[in-house]
Amino acid sequence: MSKTRISATLGQTERDAVLQAISTIKEKLPFLVDLSPDDRMALPKMGDKSRAFVSKALEVAAQNPEFLPRSFDLDEMRKDVQLFEALYPVLLSLTQLQELVDDTSLAVGSEAYAAALQVYNYAKASGRGAGLDAVVLEMGQRFARKAVKSESKEPML
């Protein structure tokens, strides 16, 4: 596996601008909801195949409203479909951006961790007597393993 070499910085000004842009996106989408995991699981999902189904159902409902009960809100269905279609390219764009940020964060974190391991190994190997014993010991706590408690095994009757 080849090493990813990322040599970049994100200054406070740029970081603040990105966070402000994210805040602006949230402000422009005040109707966003936060679903619980249970709510997410309970909802029927609309994927690519379902988009065609929903579109066809809206078309049928719009052309034949007489068979729908009075309680059915065709205008609300139309708004939901329109909002979904308007959000879809935003969702795709944000998903792509999140994947890029995730991948970059993973790669640069990996590089930082690999460099930290090198520093730790160098300090461990040649840091004795140089006043690094305490910091090497502290850094070594990252690798300390917790003692596994053995469960008493009583014979089952």
DSSP 8-class letter at 156: P
User: Is the pLDDT assigned to residue 156 strictly greater than 70?
Assistant: no
Q: Which of residues 149 and 102 earns the better pLDDT score?
A: 102
Model pLDDT, residue 36: 96
Conformation bin of residue 19: beta by default, left when phi > 0, alpha when psi is -120 to 50 = alpha
Q: Is 119 in contact with 112 (CB distance < 8 Å)?
A: no
Model pLDDT, residue 152: 60
Q: In Å, what is the CA distance from 108 to each residue of 7, 101, 139, 155?
A: 9, 10, 20, 51
| Helix or strand holding residue 39 (H, E) | helix 37-42
Taking alpha carbons only, the member of 154, 125, 129, 153 closest to residue 140 is 125
Look at the pTM and tell me if it is higher than 0.85: no
67-101 residue pLDDT tens: 999 999 999 999 999 999 999 999 999 999 999 99
